[in-house]
Structure 1
Amino acid sequence: MKSKIVTLDELGEFKNGLNFNKYDYGEGYPIINVKQLYQSRFASTKNLLSIRKDFGKKIDNYTVKKGDLLFARGSMVAKGAGQVVMVNDFKPGTVFSGFIIRFRVNDEKKINPLFLNYILRSPKYRGQFVRLAEGSVHSNFNQEILGNFKIELPSIHIQNIITNILGKIDDSIELLQTLDSHLEDIIKTFFKSWFIDFDGQTEFIDSELGKIPKGWKCYHTDEIKKEKKGIVSGPFGSNIGSRFFQTIGIPVIRGNNLTIGKEEFIDAGFVYITQEKAEELKNCQAIQGDIVFTAVGTLGQVGIIPIYSKYEKYVISNKQLRLRIATDIATPFYCYYWYSYPDVSNFIINQNKGTSVPLINLQVLKSIPIIIPPLTKMKEFEKLVEHIKFTQHNLRQKIDLLSEVRDLILPKLMSGEIRI
């Protein structure tokens, strides 16, 4: 297949994003931040924060339109450098932040923006971005670096065919992700009914958290931990910095593996350390059933290492805390849904001890209250949703397989090995 080698500068124009501070937030213009670039092929534009309409700068220069590509300017690790997504659905007046660089193609009759998006997100080109960023503590990109980046560009006809093929695969992936999300909502509905609204309970007693069913207890997290190393913080930063990261090994759990009430655990997107380094940090390891909290940064993020985890063990980063439950008191599954429940998540967020950066410490985690029903009740809940969790596991396996197929066939389509 005939393609030409071109730089991005030849295909369009770059624009740095809008700089603002926390006092500029308010009702007005929705703004895309870096975290909206790491969820799918398209920028996530639901529930965006906004900046005030009376914001001083000229907004028109920073608005987005369908087909714009958005690059992350910086990343704490090389693996996240140059992350790119395409703008698809958005509200009028949506702008992008100063941590992002916008790329807008010159002529969509010659260049399909979604094709560029697929190319730049493919393992081949992601690898080039990572190699460019390696060796820097903060992996930063600018317009000059991106503008000189070279890609293979086939004819617009071939671009459109490839985009159509890959788009169908991604449509299937997103459908499976939607089904997975709906199943998770069902589990949360059961949890709320049983353990928040106390449906079916008739006798109540007073507790620190108000009225709870008779026979239930109110504990603090420190009282339900496994006795030895039940609650630990991550290693000191100097013990787990980027200089220790590998391409394979023991995965390191970071903030991108946790969410606020969305997914129990994102078992992908890791950096790795060696087995020897993991043994050195054995007190900071996490295994199936362990609950992990973000301690620095996006407070309220919580995850649980699931029974279907891809790895036998993990190591938490210096910005996480790990809780290991005493299973004669509570089940990890129940506790995860308690800590990820919106009211509890907001409680954690409000315990912020930081100034410039949000922060909670071990004492905060130990003091978080939790209602503990009878152990039989928690196990009954797990049994009820067991089939749902198994179905979710199967869906996620299919998502992983389709993602691998998409990434494998793109270079074959480009090379002509698969004829189109």
Structure 2
Amino acid sequence: MSEWKRYKLSDLYEMSSGISSTKEQAGHGSPFLSFSVVFNNYFLPDSLIDLMDTTDGDKQKYSINEGDIFLTRTSETVDELAMSSVALKDYPEASFSGFLKRLRPVDKRIVYPKFMAFYLRSPLFRRTIINNTVMTLRASFNEAMFSYLEIMLPDFDTQKKIGDFLYSLEKKKQTNNQINQELEAMAKTLYDYWFVQFDFPDQNGKPYKSSGGKMVYHPELKREIPEGWGVESVGNLLDKVTKAEKIENNSIEFIGKIPVIDQSQKYIAGFTNNENGLIQPQNGHVIFGDHTRVVKYINFDYARGADGTQVLISNNENISNVLLYHMIEDFDLSNYGYARHFKFLKEKLVIVPDKKISLQFANKADVIYKKIRNNIFENQELTQLRDWLLPMLMNGQVKVE
């Protein structure tokens, strides 16, 4: 078993603060690392898309290099303080937010970046942060805390074994996410081809519109649609979901029998064992975030979070739930007021297609979304495996051969 040694964090890293920024400055200029990117990622993404125009001439002062660690400096709660992200490459010309602290390694032969990425998010380090934090209006990670914090580390080779192993789990999750994005794009392309361009297969298997299928002008839509197809508002298509108890945030667990869906970009916010919250979609459900405008298609048993998430299902036999999902996903609601998106969504008009074509699309889409579902649950299993192993790896109870 590797011998673990105690180090002062300030002996291993030099700490620097970032650039104070405003929303008016963001959106153009050089690559810029924001608070939210660090909060949500163990490792910095390949490219930084948050941009900022800065006139500060000292590029080195705010630079981002391989091995740098970024910690969230302040937070509303102690539990969310000092979430971290690690750079695995240099980011030329990039700078970082004043809401972050940069830790730059003094000696790269002592600390392995991939190991530190997981160590700093482990329960072991999180407890250290929480025990040393003083709450005023906000929790704060500051120079004084940095100067006296101590951590226990194994030798470099052991760090490398642990870091590379845990990183391989994260890479598999990233691969699954990329596959799901490509699968979603396939389903979207099929939807566009059939229900936007109207080149669904006709009775001879040829593209309908391109092969001369009859089109008629619809005045409300101000466009032509296939003959025999109708138009309806979204609000008139929706049916109620079986009543189920909503799961409060403080009741969502790390593990459980029932995945809990919220209105963020993540499919699964956590789990619950509360059977009163169980919703069982036979033909999938559409999840719509009234605040976030995030739209998702759920084709597995789940529970709903208590965050205003809307669950939509179609009451029209000519519009399957997966087709309703793609219709709603196509809408731009960005110009509507905060938390009123659902009201305006219900007023939107959609095309009601031929039942046979809708069923054919649902059958093809179902194959795609089953693959997406499998990847979602594999990622959940990998996350649970990582979080189960993390404390044992970080205190030396388990070693990687």
Cα distance in 2 for partners of 1:139, 1:246 equals 24
Cα distance in 2 for partners of 1:172, 1:151 equals 29
Asked whether the 8 Å contact 1:252–1:316 carries over to 2, the reply is no
- Counterpart secondary structure, 2:109: coil
Larger Rg computed on CA atoms: 2
Cα shift readout 1:119-167 (whole Å, capped 9, x = no counterpart)? 123355456667888x989974422556655432111222123223333
Cα distance in 2 for partners of 1:350, 1:74 equals 31
- Paired residue for 2:229, among 196, 208, 216? 216
Asked whether the 8 Å contact 2:37–2:44 carries over to 1, the reply is yes
Cα distance in 1 for partners of 2:180, 2:163 equals 25
* Distance change in 2, residues 1:158/1:337 (3 Å): same
* Distance change in 2, residues 1:67/1:339 (3 Å): farther
* Distance change in 2, residues 1:402/1:322 (3 Å): closer
Asked whether the 8 Å contact 1:7–1:148 carries over to 2, the reply is yes
- Counterpart secondary structure, 1:418: coil
Cα shift readout 1:65-122 (whole Å, capped 9, x = no counterpart)? 2222222345566664433221235642122223333222221121112211121233
The letter for the 2-side match of 1:178 is: Q
Asked whether the 8 Å contact 1:76–1:137 carries over to 2, the reply is no
- Counterpart secondary structure, 2:351: strand
Asked whether the 8 Å contact 2:259–2:268 carries over to 1, the reply is no
Cα distance in 2 for partners of 1:360, 1:136 equals 35
The within-5 A match list for 1:20-419 is: 20-37=21-38, 40-46=41-47, 48-52=49-53, 55=55, 60-74=60-74, 80-89=80-89, 91-126=91-126, 140-143=139-142, 144-145=144-145, 149-199=149-199, 200-201=207-208, 202-207=213-218, 208-209=220-221, 210-226=223-239, 244-245=250-251, 247=253, 253-255=261-263, 257-258=264-265, 266-268=267-269, 270=270, 275=274, 288=281, 289-296=284-291, 299-304=292-297, 306-309=298-301, 311=302, 313-318=303-308, 320-328=309-317, 330-341=319-330, 344=331, 347-351=332-336, 353-354=337-338, 359-414=339-394, 415=396, 417-418=398-399
* Distance change in 2, residues 1:324/1:139 (3 Å): farther
Cα distance in 2 for partners of 1:291, 1:360 equals 18
* Distance change in 2, residues 1:223/1:14 (3 Å): farther
Cα distance in 1 for partners of 2:147, 2:58 equals 25
Cα distance in 1 for partners of 2:16, 2:279 equals 42
Asked whether the 8 Å contact 1:19–1:97 carries over to 2, the reply is yes
The letter for the 2-side match of 1:376 is: K
Q: CA deviation at 1:416?
A: 5.4
Q: CA deviation at 1:30?
A: 1.5
Q: CA deviation at 1:385?
A: 2.9
Cα shift readout 1:26-85 (whole Å, capped 9, x = no counterpart)? 4311122233235553222546131225x4686543231222222234556666443322
Cα distance in 2 for partners of 1:19, 1:369 equals 45
Cα distance in 2 for partners of 1:267, 1:212 equals 37
Cα distance in 2 for partners of 1:362, 1:323 equals 11
Q: CA deviation at 1:317?
A: 0.5
The letter for the 2-side match of 1:295 is: D
Asked whether the 8 Å contact 1:162–1:410 carries over to 2, the reply is no
Q: CA deviation at 1:394?
A: 2.8
Q: Identify unmatched segments of 5+ residues in structure 2.
A: 200-206
Q: State the identity %.
A: 20
Cα distance in 2 for partners of 1:183, 1:12 equals 42
Cα distance in 2 for partners of 1:337, 1:251 equals 23
Asked whether the 8 Å contact 2:115–2:164 carries over to 1, the reply is no
Q: CA deviation at 1:364?
A: 2.0
Cα distance in 2 for partners of 1:8, 1:31 equals 26
Query: CA-atom RMSD, angstroms?
Result: 3.9
Cα distance in 1 for partners of 2:120, 2:167 equals 15
Q: CA deviation at 1:245?
A: 4.8
Asked whether the 8 Å contact 1:75–1:81 carries over to 2, the reply is yes
Q: Identify unmatched segments of 5+ residues in structure 1.
A: 259-264
Cα shift readout 1:145-196 (whole Å, capped 9, x = no counterpart)? 5665543211122212322333333333333333333222222221221122
- Counterpart secondary structure, 2:333: helix
